[in-house]
Amino acid sequence: MNIIFMAINLAFALLIAPVVDSFEMKIRARLQNRQGPSILQTWWDLIKLFKRPTVEPQDSVKSFYKLAPYVTFTAVLTAYLIVPTLLPSSINFIGDFIVVVYLLGLATLSFVIGAFSSGNAYAQIGSNREVSLFMSEELLLAFIVGTIAVIGKSLSFDQLFPLPLRISSVLALLLLLLVIYVASARLPFDIAEAEPEIIEGPLIEYSGKHLGLLEYSMFLKRLLLYSLLLNFILPVQNPTRLIGYLLGIMILSVIYSTFEAYYGRFRIDQAVKLMKKLSAVALVVWIIALVGW
């Protein structure tokens, strides 16, 4: 049964991730006095991209360039087997939290390697920025994982979902909310893509199916991070979990896209400085958790 439930979870993610993106676009549009696209727009965009042929740039390292979108996509999908979405069933083992963090890291890494191997100047600047942002956010994430592990006394999602209500767990989840915002490349942190500056940076040379896969994995990654956060809050074996989960995604979407609509873009040095400050805060939260509050 577990396997069937997991398949349902995966199918839900694959179907709904682009819809969440359209939903956010719609909210942003309303905040900007615009009509906004239909709720299925992202799906139409993806379908169009998958129909288009792909072009490989002349100067690229072809094997890396072609492989990168598949690795990114698979890495994110694999993480879905460990983090439950719609139904509370998943593969669990000791240290699966670490594996999810690594899988997300692998997705970013392959994305960056693919961009680097395209040989485009804009892509290289973009991936440089992506790497520096990733590094700065990694330290923060490490502290958060540490805090959560201390609170739940485990590194397996089995025992971590949901977190007990304590000062440190609330603070840790708030920080996680921030990290998710940064990791999902939203304004003001979409520095790597920055359309008016470096024309989508790492994505610039990608086209057709490859571009579609990369964008699809971005949407999937956002939904995965949402689910991760919600799982820490929602009760596990309870029929209200389903409603809570769907409602939670909508609430998170509204919060995040409202923030996005009212921000300008940071420069990379400003973003890194901010992440350093947040890391210091996370260190304090970790100490609070160790004390036992």
* Chain residues that interact with another protein, rule: CB under 8 A: 28, 31-34, 121-122, 124-125, 128, 187-188, 190-191, 194-199, 261-270
Cβ-contact 67, 244 below 8 angstroms: no
Q: Which is closer to another protein, CB of 33 or CB of 237?
A: 33
Q: Which is closer to another protein, CB of 66 or CB of 265?
A: 265
DSSP codes of every residue in the chain: -HHHHHHHHHHHHHHHHHHHHHHHHHHHHHHTT-----TTHHHHHHHHHHHSPP---TTS-HHHHHHHHHHHHHHHHHHHHHS--SSS-----TTHHHHHHHHHHHHHHHHHHHHHTT--HHHHHHHHHHHHHHHHHHHHHHHHHHHHHHHHT-SSHHHHSSPP--HHHHHHHHHHHHHHHHHTT-TTSGGGT-HHHHTTGGGTT--HHHHHHHHHHHHHHHHHHHHHHHHHHS-SS-THHHHHHHHHHHHHHHHHHHHHHT--PPPHHHHHHHHHHHHHHHHHHHHHHHHT-
Q: Which is closer to another protein, CB of 97 or CB of 122?
A: 122
Cβ-contact 72, 107 below 8 angstroms: yes
Q: Which is closer to another protein, CB of 71 or CB of 204?
A: 204
Taking the complex as a whole, the smallest distance from the CB of residue 210 to another protein amounts, in Å, to 21
Taking the complex as a whole, the smallest distance from the CB of residue 131 to another protein amounts, in Å, to 12
Taking the complex as a whole, the smallest distance from the CB of residue 120 to another protein amounts, in Å, to 10
Taking the complex as a whole, the smallest distance from the CB of residue 276 to another protein amounts, in Å, to 16
Kindly report the number of other CB atoms within 10 A of residue 170's CB atom.
Answer: 12
Burial of 33: CB neighbours in 10 Å, binned 0-12, 13-18, 19+: exposed
Taking the complex as a whole, the smallest distance from the CB of residue 128 to another protein amounts, in Å, to 8
Q: Which is closer to another protein, CB of 42 or CB of 147?
A: 42
Taking the complex as a whole, the smallest distance from the CB of residue 281 to another protein amounts, in Å, to 19
Cα separation of 100 and 78, whole Å? 9
Q: Which is closer to another protein, CB of 139 or CB of 199?
A: 199
Taking the complex as a whole, the smallest distance from the CB of residue 61 to another protein amounts, in Å, to 18
Taking the complex as a whole, the smallest distance from the CB of residue 233 to another protein amounts, in Å, to 29
Q: Which is closer to another protein, CB of 32 or CB of 63?
A: 32
Q: Which is closer to another protein, CB of 96 or CB of 190?
A: 190
